[in-house]
Amino acid sequence: MSQTAFETTAYSRRRARMSQAFSVLCLAATSLGVLVLILLIWEILWQGLPWLNARLLTSFPSMYPEKAGIAAALVSSLWLITLTALFSVPIGVGAAVYLEEYAQASRWRSLVQLNIANLAGVPSIVYGILGLGLFVRALALQRSILAGSLTLTLVVLPIVILAAQESLRAVPNSIRQASFALGATRWQTVWHQVLPAATPGIMTGVILAISRAMGEAAPLVAMGAAATFITFIPLSPIDEFSALPVQIYDWASRPQPEYHHVAAAAIVVLLTVLILLNATAVYVRYRYGKRIRW
């Protein structure tokens, strides 16, 4: 048997070199991203950690940086994301189920679909202005947590719908066929087979959308969320509110450097909550993904 087929040639060596060069390039790109991220986090931690203590979590905004805290902002933010999730999940999943499982392919459907995709790309401050006009003024909800979370619902709704649609589409058609062939109605098929199979994907999408809502400052600022004078813990959805990103924005834009440290400490708290949310998303995916494998 001849061995020539396995000997390296100038051509194969060149291809190997190209392949190696490309992998080095990709590695460089990845490392650059990671490096910037590490620098950012390092900077925040370095500035914020010394200021991160129980007082920060339990105090209200103050004229004195060493007395300022995020109690109101943190509780407000938790209120906001809870209500936003409560509003956006049923509406978003419902819309996705309608579009994927019920709506016939039609021009009308494509139009709706196109609009949802576009809405997902609308800058969030635009929703803030809409929220100001619609919820704060027209519906007279004032600058309440309710108005804030409804506005955030508008921001994340397209994202939730798109993520849910994606997960529904990932459920193989053979599952629907099997269910229909056993005499199940469309509703039974969706409720007992399609939705459970799509749940991990939907949950991941929802959690990521909620993380986004948690980090949004612009729409809340636009609709007039307060940062400085909320000196109580908001206890009901009609209370006025602050929000972590709004509070951070307020402190970071002040001239005194001490406030920048308080802002950094608040960012650490915000990041921690976001990382927890994301970890939940990963866990959900891992946990259910193991059970459902096509």
Partner 1 sequence: MMQETTIDRPIMPLRPTSFPRERPSRTADDLAGRPPKISVDHLNFYYGPKQALSDVTLMIPQHCVTALIGPSGCGKSTFLRCLNRMNDMIDNTRVEGEIILDGRSILGPKVDVVALRKRVGMVFQKSNPFPKSVFENVAYGPRVAGVRGKSVLYEIVEKSLVRAALWDEVKDRLNDSALQLSGGQQQRLCIARALATNPDVLLMDEPASALDPASTSRIEDLIFELRDRYTIVIVTHNMQQAARVSDQTAFFYQGELIEAGSTNELFTNPARKQTEDYITGRFG
Best CA proximity match to 278, nearest among 203, 168, 216, 166: 203
Q: How far is the CB of 112 from partner 1 (least distance, A)?
A: 18
Nearer to partner 1, 129 or 184 (CB): 184
Per CB under 8 A, the segment of 54-62, 77-85, 122-130, 187-195 that binds partner 1 is 187-195
Check binding of 175 to partner 1 (CB under 8 A): yes
Nearer to partner 1, 3 or 104 (CB): 104
Check binding of 115 to partner 1 (CB under 8 A): no
Tell which one of 2, 9, 174, 236 touches partner 1 (CB under 8 A): 174
Best CA proximity match to 149, nearest among 234, 218, 85, 204: 85
Tell which one of 46, 115, 172, 287 touches partner 1 (CB under 8 A): 172
Q: DSSP for 166-196?
A: HHHHHS-HHHHHHHHHTT--HHHIIIIIIHH
Report how far apart, in Å, the C-alpha atoms of 282 and of each of 59, 201, 209, 289 are: 33, 10, 14, 10
Tell which one of 17, 192, 254, 287 touches partner 1 (CB under 8 A): 192
Tell which one of 77, 165, 193, 204 touches partner 1 (CB under 8 A): 193
Tell me which H or E stretch contains 248: helix 244-252
Nearer to partner 1, 82 or 199 (CB): 199
Q: How far is the CB of 163 from partner 1 (least distance, A)?
A: 20
Tokens found for residue 244: 């972590």
SS3 category, 237: coil
Nearer to partner 1, 59 or 188 (CB): 188
Asked if 132 contacts 224 with a C-beta cutoff of 8 angstroms, the reply is yes
Asked if 113 contacts 99 with a C-beta cutoff of 8 angstroms, the reply is yes
Check binding of 183 to partner 1 (CB under 8 A): yes
Check binding of 197 to partner 1 (CB under 8 A): yes
| φ and ψ at residue 144, rounded to 5 degrees | -100, 165
Residues 146-165 that bind partner 1 (CB under 8 A): none
CA–CA separation, 248 and 129 (whole Å): 21
Q: What is the binding site for partner 1 (CB under 8 A)?
A: 105, 172-185, 188, 192-193, 196-197, 291-294
